[in-house]
Amino acid sequence: MKNHKSGVIAGAVLILVLVMTVAAPLLTPSPPNQQDLTAGLLPPFTAGHLLGTDELGRDVLSRLIYGGRPILLIAFVSTTAALIVGVIAGLAAGFLGRGADMVIMRIADIQLSVPPIALAVLLAASMGPGVKSAMVAIPLVTWPQIARVVRADVMRVSSSDFVALARVAGLSQFTIARRHVVPNVSTVVVVVGTLNLGVAVIYSAAMSFLGLGVQAPRADWGNMLAGGTQYLESWWLVVFPGAMLTLVVLCVTLVGDALRDRLDPRHTTSNRTVDTPAGA
């Protein structure tokens, strides 16, 4: 119940952030790239600049609101692509037999032996900096984790009695997968997809921080952090974009936990068993 309440609150915050970024032109006090060199590095709560200005006199609040647009777009697109690849690979590995399982999982193991963020940076650098590079690199490094989770659930469902009965009844592999396997693994797909969204946000911000994602002067929380590190005495340049990243990732994680507790009865039952005092 506690996770459910926190998940609802976190979901409401995520919706608020999404609406805020979509309605950015209506909410920002000035264009995100509008410069005023006479008003550089003004602290927060200065007249006309609620969160202060950066070194070029650009309004931090405006850039913060607009900065959520590219990072959330990259996260949603890359998570969707990673889910498509990971779910297909996990279904094939868990349902098509030992040969497919060996090939797919060995590829995943080899890729997982390299730190994902390092591999993402390498791929983005090889393709050239930009939003498209980030959208391609992130799914390519996150699909193995999704595939492993889906594979485990597919193998569990495939060994169940109702799947065995379907095979005895003469149903084809495709029909069994469509009618019995896919619907029963959809819960874990939703949960792992939600949690992967938080990972995609971190990776997107990291690549922008390193100059491989969203390019200046376009506002992005990652490149705002990178610019702020050059003026650490102006703490607001680092604290506010860092706080937004932390808030979004935390909320995504809480939503993922709540979805897992609500959709996966095995997890809920396990928690109740552990939480029950001895002798109760």
> Which 3-state string (H, E, C) describes 106-149?
HHHHHHHCCCHHHHHHHHHHHHCCCHHHHHHHHHHHHHHHHHHH
Per-residue pLDDT for 276 more than 50? Answer: no
Per-residue pLDDT for 98 more than 70? Answer: yes
Q: pLDDT tens digits for 218-258?
A: 999 999 999 999 998 999 999 999 999 999 999 999 998 88
Domain coordinates of the chain in residue numbers?
A: 2-27+51-267
Q: How far is CA 40 from the centre of its chain?
A: 34
Q: Which CATH number fits domain 2-27+51-267: 2.60.40.10, 3.30.70.20, 1.10.3720.10, 3.30.450.40?
A: 1.10.3720.10
Q: How far is CA 7 from the centre of its chain?
A: 16
Cα separations in angstroms, 219 against 5, 61, 164, 166:
33, 11, 54, 54
Find all residues with CB under 8 Å of 97, minimum gap 6, and list them: none
Q: How far is CA 228 from the centre of its chain?
A: 24
Beta bridge partners of residue 49, listed in sequence order: 46
Asked if residue 144 lies in contact with residue 93, where contact means CB atoms within 8 angstroms, the answer is no
Q: Quick one: DSSP state of residue 215?
A: P
Instruction: Please tell me the pTM assigned to this model.
Output: 0.86
For residue 246, what pLDDT is reported? 95
Minimal CA–CA distance to 51: which of 241, 245, 222, 248? 241
For residue 184, what pLDDT is reported? 83
Distance CA 7, CA 128 (A): 38
Q: Which burial class, exposed, middle or buried, applies to 23 when counting CB atoms under 10 A from its CB (0-12, 13-18, 19+)?
A: exposed
Minimal CA–CA distance to 148: which of 203, 92, 204? 92
The percent of residues above 90 in pLDDT, for the chain, comes to: 67
Distance CA 273, CA 180 (A): 28
Distance CA 214, CA 246 (A): 19
Minimal CA–CA distance to 193: which of 152, 252, 246? 252
Out of 77-81, 209-213, 248-252, 275-279, least confident range: 275-279
Give the number of residues written for the chain. 280
Count of beta carbons in the 10 Å neighbourhood of residue 273: 8
In the chain, the amino acid numbered 199 is V
Q: Quick one: DSSP state of residue 231?
A: G
Per-residue pLDDT for 272 more than 60? Answer: no
Minimal CA–CA distance to 211: which of 229, 226, 195? 226
For residue 168, what pLDDT is reported? 83
Out of 91-105, 163-177, 247-261, least confident range: 163-177
Average pLDDT (140-156) is 92
